Amino acid sequence: MGDGLDAADDAPLATSKHEFAAAEAVAGTLPGAKGATLTSRAVTINRPSADLFAYWRDFSNLPSFMDNVERIDVISSTRSHWVVKAPAGKTVEWDAVITEEVEGELIAWSSQEGADVPNSGRIEFRDAGARGTVVIVTILYDPPAGFIGKVVAKMFQREPAIQARGDLRRFKQLMETGEIATASRTRAQLEAEQN
Amino acid sequence: MRALTWHGKHDVRVDTVDDPEILNPRDAIIKITSTAICGSDLHLYDGYIPTMQAGDILGHEFMGEVVEVGAKSTLQKGQRVVVPFTIACGSCYHCGKHQYSACDNGLPADNQDIGQEMYGQPMSGLFGYSHLTGGYAGGQAEYVRVPFSDVGPIIIPDGVEDEKVLFLSDILPTGWMAAENADIEPGDTVAVWGCGPVGLFAVQSAFLMGAERVIAIDHFPHRLELAKKFGAETINFEETATYEALLQMTGGIGPDAVIDAVGLEAHGFFVDNVIDQIKASTFLGTDRIHSIRQAIIACRKGGRVSMPAVYGGFVDKFPLGAFMEKGLTLKTGQTHVQHYMPALLNAIMENKIDTTFLISHTLGLEDAPQGYKMFHDNQNEVTKVVLKPGLALAAE
Ligand SMILES: NC(=O)c1ccc[n+]([C@@H]2O[C@H](COP(=O)([O-])OP(=O)(O)OC[C@H]3O[C@@H](n4cnc5c(N)ncnc54)[C@H](O)[C@@H]3O)[C@@H](O)[C@H]2O)c1
Ligand SMILES: [Zn+2]
Ligand SMILES: [Zn+2]
């Protein structure tokens, strides 16, 4: 057996059992790739791709469903500054630049020098006919502080892969239902849940 | 407000908790006028359902008056509504197919992890039924917050008493869907395990769908009596060998369709059941599945199996061989309540279906713990307990 990818099948790279080789292969397809840990996820959203693309492309919208994002400052049409919650009340920050964009279909980004969490990735919007749009997110990142950081982050639901999973579900809820589901009974509970 | 809360196995209490508030645009707040204790609630009461937390408000069968609405709710204050126990968005792919209990958006995003891990996919939210199903507060309370109030609740015409329509929230559609899932053909014989509310509504529904004979199985004489009233033949499994009886009663063929309306707490001193009980209490296996095993063995070749009964985890000794060799079909699932409500409301209004026969006890909300105990300890006579927050404490 080699490092695995030579016997490749048709499955998405992020589902490969050969994590390092898969991350490297994805990095090869991303301009300015940053990060060595790969995660990806697909979700089908019952809305036209143009609507989803437009909402996502306006980065100031993203904190409405990205739980961990404290704020995103839009600096120019391709550059933004991200402030993201980290475990133990800390925050991590980086500048992201759009490296590729196909209207209605694809946005790729990469973090710039000095990022606390070097990362890059792409989001694709593929027309799925009567089912709406398949949204596929692929992210490469370096976990906050090595492996230990990843374990701790996981406990706090701040691990980027877990976070991406929740964010995509909330994005789907917002786009399909106009709101984000909560089981809270009172406003005070809802606020506690959101912190 | 006052609300019935779960604190552990056989420990439910009426506590004072904060009133619910409108949190999302499609929400409504309902003032409860009637709410029922369900067979499914007994699974919580007996501690069989994981992810319960102390203080959780129970109750998924309820109705009441709209007292507050969010900006996007289509309800109006003062309307009387019955609320489906499944929390579904109405706008996802599954809701579009009327598979409401498979709604993609009923659960808060973080609650979806559990279902994804356990079942491969998260399901819809449910009221008052553990954090696996969202952790939503239930309706055994004075007030409840109802999400997606523009697609779930059904408006009840004035002058129709609560008792006639309350069961649209769960057990009537569940019994109906159980019969529908049995794909009944004219002339069929249908066997129903369990004469609780779900089984009894399945009996009524099966006849309405053209079954020639329905055979109802239980061990509580009073419940069997009710099944008989609707035209079913009965088998008391404590007195009779069920499989042998079913074969003889069907000329050696077996029932064309079988319905398991018992679920993960099957009663009876059957060898497999006792082993299941030991395993369940030692967490080696979770579900006691005597009734579904027997249903599969009794079913005729090429027949249909419908399983409204709730199972949550893994099972042992599922007769997969019999299932395959006889070429059976199985349909199951949490009920797509929203899909069935309008037609069943019509059937009630036209007196085609009676639901009031089921209610054996009506109590005030403060008496809810007593209601749970009665329903748990005396299933023969206690067929359904309805709680009314407006009703004063029962006299001592
Ligand atoms: N699919 C759904 O959406 C849905 C909705 C509501 C209820 N349920 C489930 O349906 C099932 C029945 O609900 P219910 O409210 O009628 O409950 P219930 O507890 O009132 O009735 C169950 C009946 O089964 C009988 N029984 C027990 N062991 C038996 C056996 N071995 N053979 C034959 N009968 C046996 C009991 O004596 C009892 O009368 C439960 O599992 C409940 O969780 C499912
Ligand atoms: Zn119920
Ligand atoms: Zn839905």
Tell me, yes or no, if the pTM score tops 0.80. yes
Q: What are the structure tokens assigned to A76, written together?
A: 């120019």
pLDDT tens-digit series, residues A48-99:
999 999 999 999 999 999 988 999 999 999 999 999 988 778 888 999 999 9
- From chain A, the residues in CB contact with B25 under 8 A are 178-179
Q: Are residues B327 and B208 in the same domain?
A: yes
Mark which of B296, B316, B332 sits at the end of a domain: B332
The pLDDT score that the predictor gives to residue B280 is 61
Q: Are residues B352 and B260 in the same domain?
A: no
Q: What are the structure tokens assigned to B40, written together?
A: 């499914």
In this structure, is residue B150 part of a structural domain? Answer: yes
Q: Are residues B196 and B325 in the same domain?
A: yes
Flag whether pLDDT at A162 surpasses 70.
yes
The answer to whether ipTM exceeds 0.85 is yes
Report the nearest-CA residue for atom 11 of ligand 1.
Answer: B309
pLDDT tens-digit series, residues A5-52:
666 788 999 899 999 999 999 999 999 999 999 999 999 999 999 999
Whole-number percent of chain A with pLDDT over 90: 71
Expressed as residue numbers, the domain containing B181 is 172-332
In this structure, is residue B100 part of a structural domain? Answer: yes
CATH of the domain at B99: 3.90.180.10
Chain centroid to Cα B362, Å, comes to: 19
Q: Are residues B89 and B180 in the same domain?
A: no
Chain centroid to Cα A152, Å, comes to: 19
The pLDDT score that the predictor gives to residue A160 is 79
**Interval between CA B115 and ligand 1 midpoint (Å):** 23
Q: Are residues B123 and B239 in the same domain?
A: no
In this structure, is residue B76 part of a structural domain? Answer: yes
Q: What are the structure tokens assigned to B41, written together?
A: 């609630």
Beta strand B2-8 with A133-141: parallel, antiparallel or unpaired?
A: unpaired
**Cα–Cα distance list, B154 to A183, B124, B341 (Å):** 21, 18, 7
Torsion of CA B289, B292, B293, B296, to 10 degrees: -170
Q: Are residues B218 and B364 in the same domain?
A: no
The pLDDT score that the predictor gives to residue B396 is 40
Domains, chain A, in order of start with CATH, read 13-194 (3.30.530.20)
The pLDDT score that the predictor gives to residue A2 is 45
CA distance B100 to B126: 11
Q: Which ligand is nearest to the CA of B307?
A: 1
Q: Are residues B304 and B373 in the same domain?
A: no
B375 with B37: CB under 8 angstroms? Answer: yes
In this structure, is residue B46 part of a structural domain? Answer: yes
Q: Could you identify the atom of ligand 1 that is nearest to the CA of residue B379?
A: 39
CA distance B146 to B177: 24
Question: In 3D, which of B321, B263, B310 has the Cα closest to residue B288?
Answer: B263
Q: Are residues B307 and B325 in the same domain?
A: yes
Best of A134, A185, A191, A193 to disrupt the B interface (most B CBs within 10 Å) is A185
Q: Could you identify the atom of ligand 1 that is nearest to the CA of residue B198?
A: 16
Q: Are residues B153 and B280 in the same domain?
A: no
CATH of the domain at B210: 3.40.50.720
Q: Which ligand is nearest to the CA of B196?
A: 1
Q: How many domains does chain B have?
A: 2
Q: Which residue has the tokens 């056989």?
A: B10
**Cα–Cα distance list, B339 to B81, B87, B88, B96, B151 (Å):** 16, 12, 11, 10, 10
Report the nearest-CA residue for atom 36 of ligand 1.
Answer: B194
Q: Are residues B23 and B154 in the same domain?
A: yes
Whole-number percent of chain B with pLDDT over 90: 84
Q: Are residues B74 and B160 in the same domain?
A: yes
B109 to A44: CB separation less than 8 angstroms, yes or no:
no
Mark which of B288, B313, B332 sits at the end of a domain: B332
In this structure, is residue B13 part of a structural domain? Answer: yes
In this structure, is residue B35 part of a structural domain? Answer: yes
In this structure, is residue B303 part of a structural domain? Answer: yes
Q: Which residues of chain B, if any, have pLDDT below 50? A: 395-396
pLDDT tens-digit series, residues B261-282:
997 765 655 556 555 665 565 5
Query: Where is B271: in which H helix or E strand?
Result: helix B271-281
Best of B22, B60, B92 to disrupt the A interface (most A CBs within 10 Å) is B92
Work out the angle at residue B146's Cα, subtended by the Cα atoms of residues B49 and A48, and round it to the nearest 5 degrees: 100
Mark which of B332, B353, B368 sits at the end of a domain: B332
In this structure, is residue B396 part of a structural domain? Answer: no
Q: Are residues B105 and B223 in the same domain?
A: no
pLDDT tens-digit series, residues A110-154:
999 999 989 999 999 999 999 999 999 999 998 766 555 665 666
